[in-house]
Chains A and B, each alone.
Chain A
Amino acid sequence: MKIKSLRYIVNQGFTSVWKNRTMSLASVASVTATLVVLGLIIILVLNINNMAKLAQVQFETIQVFLKDELPLEDISDIGKQIDDIDGVKSTMYESKEKALQNLINRWGEQGHLLEYLEENPLPNSYIIYLDSIEGAHGVVYELEKIAGIDDIKYYKEIVDVLIRIASFIRNIGLALILALIVITIFIIVNTIKITLNARRQEITIMKHVGATDWFIRCPLIIEGIVLGLIGALLSVAIVHYGYYHFYNMMLTRFTVMFSIYMISVEEMLSRILIMFTIIGAGVGALGSILAIRRYLRV
């Protein structure tokens, strides 16, 4: 195909978006609407994923409580033994005083109640960071051999449940996203079909004069891509604006802590921008190709 024809084809694609602006508007609106719904699902799925991942990191720890009144040498000796176990990334010692202080901080306004305790009931402990949660069982088995350890606490069950929930939501979300993409294609196919119906004569004439199928198809595909992209950008704007406000609301109404688990506004924007641009253009192109098939049989 010659460059000049390419220019003609691209030109035709853009011109016809404007010439059929009512139908163009309908296509853009349907793409925007479905992508906004898609955006809501994506926000939900991505955030839950993110939370699960962050939570998992937090639970990738084992806490061992030491017997009371162990001498300091023994405590540091236990620390060394723990460090030597396979699958342990690092350890952190938490003295009983530190543990109490942490608890006071966590209790917040009620924290002062703890200050009246006659005796600190909390034990000394080591917090063990693992290479991965899967290695937890092996590490615990080794820990049980070490003398001076009173109790071992780890969160394998919780993490397992968390991973299960996250993957369940991810799968449901993926299914919803696929369904929505199919619906969007269906809507675009139909809008383009209506546009095509009005231009049936034009296509018939093109066929009679000897236009190749690609020569007829290309401007319509470009038209589809342009409509898809406009819809995508509009929905990105709406979803971004919406998420921005939701994020800030979470930040002000709830604690700052909560927003740590949420994906930042910037990251969300860059993710949906890429995703929607691809989906918008793809759906537009595919919609055009599917819609035009029938009309080329002349």
Chain B
Amino acid sequence: MIEMQNVCKTYKKEVRALFNIDIKIEKGEFVFLVGPSGAGKTTFSKLVLKEENPDSGKIYFGGEDVTRLPRRKIPYLRRDIGVVFQDFRLLPNKNVYENIAFAMNIVEASAKEIRRRVPMVLAMVGLSSRAGNLPHELSGGEKQRVSIARAIVNNPSLLIADEPTGNLDPETAWEIMKVLRQVNRRGTTVLMSTHAKDIVDIMQKRVIALENGKIARDEIKGAYGYED
């Protein structure tokens, strides 16, 4: 699914963001990306999304070399990757239904397809009754579920979640995790960066720890490994 070969990425002022990263993530995996702030977790997702290009090394997504992808093809790469952010990033003037349909409009889905898919993913994240609400009328957990629904509505093969529970209380965080696990069970690879020790420890999934731009640990059924 994702493969990085000897990837380096540095930013200005010689702070090394990622250094000699070699990693392979298989289709259908659920992977936690952990590590202290500034360890390179965000850069990692940016490289996969081709928001940034590596200085050296190769990145493969679904067998294709992302680093050599021409600019005009980037949108089509991103259609196969759903993204969930810590701060939800919903459009404030669109209701729940429209926020999700918006993602389908962009990929030029038919109206019929939109009418079929949107209620389906809304049901999946348990928000069927909230379709007509605006984002500010929702709780944090509900907003995050809307953003997950938006990320998966186009059936991506990878879901990148950047600290999706970061702004939520523990109970709500678990609701989100249930949804993500469900998404994963339906075949979508999930890559989640997080600081939530409890979640990582209890979920017993693969854990990749980044420290100072290097892979410090890569464990199947791993633990968070840091004190909060």
Contact = CB atoms under 8 A, between A and B. Distances in A.
Query: Size range of the interface on A?
Result: 20 to 34
Contacts of B79: 209-210
B111 interface: yes
A226 to B, nearest CB: 19
Given A2-B108, A5-B108, A8-B105, A208 B93 contact: no
B107 interface: yes
Interface residues of B, number: 23
Contacts of B226: none
Interface string B116-130: 000000000000000
Interface string B90-105: 0101000000001101
Contacts of B150: 209
B108 A4 contact: yes
A212 B75 CA distance: 5
Contacts of A204: 89
Contact of B91 (A205, A207, A210, A213): A205
Interface string A202-232: 1011111111110100000000000000000
Contact of B154 (A5, A202, A209, A215): A209
A215 B110 contact: no
Interface in B60-102: 72, 75-80, 83, 89, 91, 93, 102
Instruction: Give the residue among B75, B89, B91, B154 with the most A Cβ atoms within 10 A.
Output: B75
A213 B76 CA distance: 11
Given A1-B108, A4-B108, A211 B91 contact: no
Contacts of B111: 4
Nearest to B49: A208
B195 to A, nearest CB: 22
Contacts of A210: 75-80, 106-107, 154
A231 B8 CA distance: 51
A147 interface: no
B60 to A, nearest CB: 19
B101 to A, nearest CB: 10
Interface in A1-53: 1-2, 4-5, 8, 19
B51 interface: yes
A205 B89 contact: yes
Nearest to B79: A210
Given A201-B91, A202-B91, A209 B108 contact: no
A211 B93 contact: no
Contact of A209 (B51, B72, B93, B106): B106
Interface string B42-59: 000000010100000000
Interface string B181-220: 0000000000000000000000000000000000000000
Interface of A: 1-2, 4-5, 8, 19, 201-202, 204-213, 215, 298
26 contacts: A1-B108, A4-B110, A5-B105, A19-B93, A201-B89, A201-B91, A204-B89, A205-B89, A205-B102, A207-B75, A208-B49, A208-B89, A209-B78, A209-B79, A209-B102, A209-B150, A210-B76, A210-B77, A210-B79, A210-B80, A210-B107, A210-B154, A211-B106, A212-B75, A213-B72, A215-B75
Going nearest first, the 10 A-B pairs with the smallest beta carbon separation are A210-B79, A210-B78, A211-B106, A209-B103, A210-B75, A212-B75, A5-B108, A208-B83, A209-B106, A8-B105
